[in-house]
Structure 1
Amino acid sequence: MSVSRETGASGVGTPPEAPAYFGDQWATAQRYAELLATWGVERGMIGPREVPRLWERHLLNCAAVCPRLPDGATVADVGTGAGLPGLVWAIARPDVSMTLVEPLLRRVRFLTAVVDDLDLTNVEIVRSRAEDHDRRYEVVTARAVASLDKLMTWCWPLVAEGGVLLAMKGQSATDEVKASQPSLKRLEVKDVRIESYGDLAVPTTVVEITR
C-alpha cells in the first residue's frame, strides 16, 4: 500500500487508489468523507480516532464490494449507522436503489442531512428495526451490526427470492459461519460462500448467503 496521499481541509488523508473505486462520483465520495470527519465526529457517528484511517478502514472497505451488486439492484443496508456501507454504495453505484434502515433517531437525522448535502436521489431512509421492516430486496447488507447468527434472524426475511445477503465481516467470517450452522439449517440455507473483495492491504471479507 502506497503511503503517498492527498490531505483535504478536514485532515482526511486520501489513498491514491481511492478515485478508481468511485469513477465519475469521486467528488461526491470526497465530500462524504469530509462530512464523516466533521459532522460525523461532532454528532458521535464515528470516533475522532477513526478520521486518519477513514478511507482504508471504512470507505474503501465498503467500496470494494460494489462490483458484486447487480445492475439496478434494490438494496437495503440494515443498521446502517453513519451510512456504511449504504451511502458508499449509493455514491459509487448511482444505478442501485438504496434503502438505509436505521432505528436510532439521531442517526436518521445525520443520514438525512448527509443525503441532502450530497443530493443523492437513489437513497431512501427508513427509521425502523430490521424485524419491523416488511419489504424485500435483491440485496441486503449489514456491516459491524451483529453476529451472523443474529443477522440471519433479522435480515433473512428481507431478502427476496433469488436475492442475497452480503454480511460484511472480518477475520471472524469462517468461525461465524460455523457457529451459525443451526440457524442456516433451520432456514434451509444451502448457498453460503465467503468471498474477498478489493485490491487492498486488507481485502474486504463478505459472507454471501443466496436465497
Structure 2
Amino acid sequence: MTDRAALQHRLEQGIATLGLQLPAGAVPRLLDYLDLLVRWNAAYNLTAVRDPAEMVTRHLLDSLAILPYVTGSTLADLGTGPGLPGIVLAIAAPGRAITLVDSNGKKVRFLREAIRSLKLEGVQAVQSRVEDVQGQFDCITARAFATLADMLGWGGHLLAPGGCWLAMKGRRPDDELEALPPGFALASMHSLAVPGLEGERHLAVIRHAGAAAAPAAC
C-alpha cells in the first residue's frame, strides 16, 4: 500500500467510525490539504505534529469530530493556526462562509495558499488578533488556544445572537466554566471519541445567556 493509500485508508476508517458521510471528493481534498501542510511544515514549522499518519488522527479526524455540532451559514475559526478545524470543515461541509483568523503571518500565508490551491470557495484568511476582528458569525470554532474566559473576552463580540461557540478542549474544563464572562452560558458539553486518539477530548457549546433554545445541531 502506498503512503497516500495508507493515509486514505486511515482517514476513511476514522470517518466511518465517527459515523460521518462527507461529500464526494472530500477525502482526496483532505489528503491534498494534508500534503500541502506536510510540505509547508518542513520549512515553516506550522504544527508540532510531523508524522502524516498522526496528522490524519490529531488534525483531520479531531477536526471532523465536531462537524455534527457546526451550524449556521457563517463561521469564524479563531486561532486557526494552519486551518484547524476551519479548512477541514470547509472541505467536509462546503457552502458556508468561513473566516480563518490567526495573528501569525506565516500561518496566514499558508492558509491563503491552501485556499487558492484547494479552490475553497467562500473561505478567507485574516491576519489579526481576535479582539480586532469585525463582524458577527453564526458559529465560532476555537481549538483550545486559551481559556474559555479569555476566548470569550477577546472574541465574544463575534458571536451572533442565537449562535453557537464551539470550544474544543482536552479534559472537561469544569474549572473554566465557572469563570465564563457575563452574558454567556454553557449550552451543552460533549465527550468526543476521536478514532485513534488517546486522551480526553471535549467540546463545550456556549451560547449567549438567556438565548432561545438552540438549533438541533447546536
Give me the TM-score of the superposition, normalised by structure 2: 0.82
What displacement does 1:199 show?
A: 6.1
What displacement does 1:195 show?
A: 1.1
- Cα deviations across residues 105-140 of structure 1 (Å, max 9, x unaligned)? 111111111111101112011111110112100011
Is the 8 Å Cα contact of residues 97 and 123 (structure 2) preserved in structure 1?
A: yes
Match in the other structure for 1:77: 77
Match in the other structure for 2:130: 130
Partner letter of residue 127 of structure 2? R
What displacement does 1:198 show?
A: 5.2
Match in the other structure for 1:62: 63
5 Å-filtered alignment, 1:45-194, equals 45-47=46-48, 49-70=50-71, 73-177=73-177, 181-182=178-179, 184=180, 186-194=181-189
Partner letter of residue 210 of structure 1? R
What displacement does 1:36 show?
A: 1.5
What displacement does 1:191 show?
A: 3.6
Is the 8 Å Cα contact of residues 138 and 159 (structure 2) preserved in structure 1?
A: yes
Give me the TM-score of the superposition, normalised by structure 1: 0.84
Distance in 1 between the 2:131 and 2:34 partners? Answer: 30
Give the alignment's Cα RMSD to 1 decimal: 2.4
Is the 8 Å Cα contact of residues 79 and 103 (structure 2) preserved in structure 1?
A: yes
Match in the other structure for 2:44: 43
- Cα deviations across residues 48-91 of structure 1 (Å, max 9, x unaligned)? 53533111111101011112122x52000011110000000011
Distance in 2 between the 1:6 and 1:162 partners? Answer: 46
Partner letter of residue 126 of structure 1? V
Match in the other structure for 2:33: 32
| Alignment gaps of 5+ in structure 2 | 209-218
Question: Structure 1 residues 17, 105: CA separation in 2 closer, same or farther (over 3 Å shift)?
Answer: same
What displacement does 1:176 show?
A: 2.7
- Cα deviations across residues 135-162 of structure 1 (Å, max 9, x unaligned)? 1000111113111121111121110010
What displacement does 1:95 show?
A: 1.8
Q: Which has the higher contact order (CA 8 A, sep 6+)?
A: 2
Distance in 2 between the 1:95 and 1:160 partners? Answer: 19
Distance in 2 between the 1:6 and 1:96 partners? Answer: 34
Is the 8 Å Cα contact of residues 166 and 204 (structure 2) preserved in structure 1?
A: yes
What count of residue pairs does the alignment treat as equivalent? Answer: 200
Q: Classify the secondary structure of the residue corresponding to 1:90.
A: helix
Matched, 1:7 2:8: no
Distance in 2 between the 1:189 and 1:196 partners? Answer: 21
| Alignment gaps of 5+ in structure 1 | none
Is the 8 Å Cα contact of residues 65 and 204 (structure 1) preserved in structure 2?
A: no
Is the 8 Å Cα contact of residues 96 and 122 (structure 1) preserved in structure 2?
A: yes
